[in-house]
Amino acid sequence: MGNWVIGVDVGGTFTDFSARQLSTGRSVLHKRPSTPHDPSEAILNGLAELQQKAGIAGKDIARFAHGTTVATNALLQRKGPKTGLVTTRGFRDLLEIGRQVRPAIYDLQTDAPPPLVERENRIEVLERTGPQGEAIVELTDAEIEAVIAELGPMDDVESIAVCLIFSFLNPAHEQRLAAALRKAYPDRYVSISSEVHPEFREYERFSTTVINAFLQPEVSRYMDRLSAAIRKAAPRAALGIFQSAGGLMSIELASRFPVRTALSGPAAGAVGAQAAAAMSRIENIITLDIGGTSTDVALIQGGKVGKSNLRDIAGFRIRLPTVDIHTVGAGGGSIAHLGADGLLKVGPTSAGAVPGPACYGRGGDLPTVSDANVVLGRLPARLADGFRIDSDLARGAIAKIAAPLDVSLEKAAHGIVSIAASNMARAIRAVSIEKGQDPRDYTLMCFGGAGGLHAADVADILAMRRILVPRAPGILCAEGLIVSDLQENYVTTCPCPLDGDVSMIDAAIRELSARAEEWLGEEDDYIVNRSQTVILDLRYIGQNYELPVELATARHAPELPSVEELKQAFFRQHEIAYGHFDPHAGVEVVNVRIRATMEFSKQTLEAPRPEGSPDPVSHERIWFEETGFLSAPVYQRDGLAEGASIDGPSLITQFDTTTLVPPGWTVRVDGAMNMIMERTNG
């Protein structure tokens, strides 16, 4: 039986590794540049380096968890095959009609992205299912043969989406079409909406299914390559892919439903943050995950990560359970430039891993946020992992901004990091203030390679008073993969008013629970707990959108509460979301969901615990707007003992990140070996 669990998170700039020994809790971390042309290259090379570094034999790896950006990047770049769509007659243009909402309400020039399926590749079929699931117009064999014949000449169509009206209530027509298409074209991928997203609202269902079809060839090929390589390197390892909903799924499901991985990497970061904050007994946090390309933020309330059932990615709508994350194009590699108006802009374009910021010395010459940090003295010439920073190249890059603005290098660099921090703060407002939460009531948790450099700036903008820096900020997404469990989500649309008779809801729960039980019954030596969580989507009758209300978690589907208890649970959720509720208005159930979880056995992390008082290894001159350059001590984090306290200004370096402690802040190491930064200047 294997003794190691390995988590691998692929980012736009770096690929991160975290390994934990189940028997002892020993942890080994590793990091290497990503390979955007083929993410699996960095994974396999990094895995070999990690095994050598930690002395891990391939046969000793029990589980390999992977957070991937392949699906996200394919959507952002529209990197996918020609896709076809088969739909009910009269609904050919639904993808373009959408919700008739402009992407930017005040910009008349910005259009929604063109559909992933060109109009000539959308085929209509004569069939009709009614709103009760009844067959109004039967799908005939002749219609199926006509569809197959029409798809025949489309040689460049590699994947097909089948989306029929009301198939979420009765999937028979979709299933017959899918079976015929797979038999006629075994080399083409087929996605049907009743499997991908069996839920009402036809546009969201069509969009999600088309995205799945668009991603399937690219993601499936990647998963096949990765799986084959991992099998050679770790023959006994169970391979899990992290999904946007916050849990692991099998590689087979990831290949079949790649749309579920659209937020794989950022979601793992939120799960890792939840676990790290729990070690410090902090329940309410706002995460700030700053990487080389983007910044992801999420709100964790009461120790629970926020969830959402609707996302837009690159202008395309996905309706599936996801961790509620907001992303902006602001990271260490974000490129600074002067706009047409002559004003300074930062991002969203990034230097990425290749060529990277100028200071990396890998061919980049454009000014980035990382270069600005070097000019300000926030990044020392040699980082804790031995990586060298070229300050001359950084100054040359920032000069391209400073010269036309006629300001000093330091003021130009400060302008760049200030704008980046403002972009990050705007993202936090979207998940907090815009949802009725005051960020001042939360602790800011910074992670990612650049999180510690900008956390205090972001906290200043939002008047937040406390910052948590986890033990390994740059590897936290990979650590989130290690503590994640297997998860599967089931949903059925079940419109039912809460007027006394809830037998329909109870029947829907029992049906979904039976499906969940079949999945939960799978054998695994490392599973220590199995559970089901029932969630109802509720709304006032007449409302257009619903709120998810989590009822209970148990080994088997729990009993349905009374109507009055359901209403009270909805009222509480409505008050949290909107600040009010109406106890006299009618309430209805829209969807029934079950989240099934298989919990892995885990070993508590045994973090190194150095002793002694803090001792700086060097001093750096750091520039601050109020004072100019100040001499600041530099500490290595692996030398800070529990209880150690350091006043700003100072720098704390470790192999995966650097943390800036500005004047007016102090940092201490708590019992979990996390660092807590707090204001001392009021």
Tokens at residue 237, please?
A: 């390892």
Which residue from 188, 169, 183, 323 is spatially nearest to 245, judged by alpha carbons?
Answer: 323
CA torsion 381→383→274→591, rounded to 10°?
Answer: 70
Which residue from 417, 423, 442, 422 is spatially nearest to 432, judged by alpha carbons?
Answer: 442
Alpha helices in 55-121 (DSSP H): 70-77, 94-97
Domain annotation for the chain: domains and CATH numbers: 4-74+220-261 (3.30.420.40), 79-212 (3.40.50), 280-331+421-482 (3.30.420.40), 334-419 (no CATH), 486-600 (3.30.1490), 618-679 (no CATH)
Hey, how many other C-beta atoms are within 10 angstroms of the C-beta on 128?
A: 18
Contact 286, 211 (CB under 8 A): no
* Pairing mode of beta strands 14-21, 4-10: antiparallel
Supply the pLDDT for residue 382. Answer: 66
| pLDDT tens, residue by residue, 412-451 | 999 999 999 999 999 999 889 988 889 999 999 999 888 9
Query: Percent helix, strand, coil in the chain (nearest 5)?
Result: 35, 30, 35
* Pairing mode of beta strands 466-469, 135-137: unpaired
Q: What is the band of 528 on the pLDDT scale with cuts at 50, 70, 90?
A: confident
Supply the pLDDT for residue 349. Answer: 82
Distance CA 580, CA 669 (A): 41
Q: How would you class 392 by CB atoms within 10 Å of its CB: exposed for 0-12, middle for 13-18, buried for 19 or more?
A: exposed
Q: Which long-range contacts (CB under 8 A, 24 or more apart) does 618-623 make?
A: 618/380, 620/377, 620/380, 620/651, 621/377, 622/376, 622/377, 622/378, 622/649, 622/651, 622/660, 623/375, 623/376, 623/377, 623/410, 623/413, 623/414
Mean pLDDT, range 179-189, rounded to an integer: 94
Q: Is the pLDDT of residue 77 over 80?
A: no
CA distance to 18, 24, 50, 474, 478, per residue, from 53 (Å): 12, 17, 5, 18, 17
Supply the pLDDT for residue 157. Answer: 92
Tokens at residue 401, please?
A: 């901004």
The continuous run of DSSP H or E covering 28 comes out as: strand 27-33
Tokens at residue 108, please?
A: 């008349």
| pLDDT tens, residue by residue, 549-582 | 998 888 888 888 889 999 999 999 999 888 899 9
Which runs of E-coded beta strand occur in 132-199?
135-137, 157-163, 189-192
Contact 522, 486 (CB under 8 A): no
* Pairing mode of beta strands 675-679, 587-600: unpaired
Mean pLDDT, range 287-291, rounded to an integer: 90
Tokens at residue 331, please?
A: 């990271």
Q: Is the pLDDT of residue 152 over 80?
A: yes
Alpha helices in 1-108 (DSSP H): 39-54, 70-77, 94-97
Supply the pLDDT for residue 384. Answer: 46
Which runs of E-coded beta strand occur in 177-303?
189-192, 238-242, 248-250, 285-290, 295-301
Distance CA 369, CA 356 (A): 11
Contact 89, 150 (CB under 8 A): no
Supply the pLDDT for residue 82. Answer: 92
Average pLDDT in the chain: 89
Supply the pLDDT for residue 153. Answer: 87
Tokens at residue 430, please?
A: 């979207």
Residue 124 phi, psi dihedral angles, 5° rounding: -95, 145
Q: Is the pLDDT of residue 615 over 90?
A: no
Residue whose pair of structure tokens reads 């190691």 in the numeric block = 4
Collapsing DSSP to helix, strand or coil, 398 comes out as helix
Which sign does the torsion angle of CA 427, 431, 437, 443 carry? negative
Tokens at residue 56, please?
A: 């891990």
Distance CA 301, CA 296 (A): 17
Q: Is the pLDDT of residue 1 over 80?
A: no
* % of the chain with per-residue pLDDT over 70: 97
The least confident of 223-227, 471-475, 521-525, 594-598 is: 521-525
Q: What is the band of 511 on the pLDDT scale with cuts at 50, 70, 90?
A: very high
| pLDDT tens, residue by residue, 207-238 | 999 999 999 999 999 999 989 989 988 888 88
Maximum distance among all alpha carbons in the chain? Answer: 82
Contact 243, 262 (CB under 8 A): no
Tokens at residue 134, please?
A: 């009844």
Which residue from 667, 666, 661 is spatially nearest to 681, judged by alpha carbons?
Answer: 666
439's CB contacts (< 8 A; 6+ apart) are 286, 428, 429, 432, 433, 462, 463, 464
* Residue positions counted in the chain: 682
Tokens at residue 675, please?
A: 């660092």
Mean pLDDT, range 129-140, rounded to an integer: 93
Name beta bridge partners: 382.
388
| pLDDT tens, residue by residue, 358-396 | 998 888 899 999 999 999 999 877 654 556 888 999 999
The region that residue 666 occupies, defined by phi over 0 for left and psi between -120 and 50 for alpha, beta otherwise, is: beta
Supply the pLDDT for residue 605. Answer: 67
Q: How far is CA 142 from the centre of its chain?
A: 44
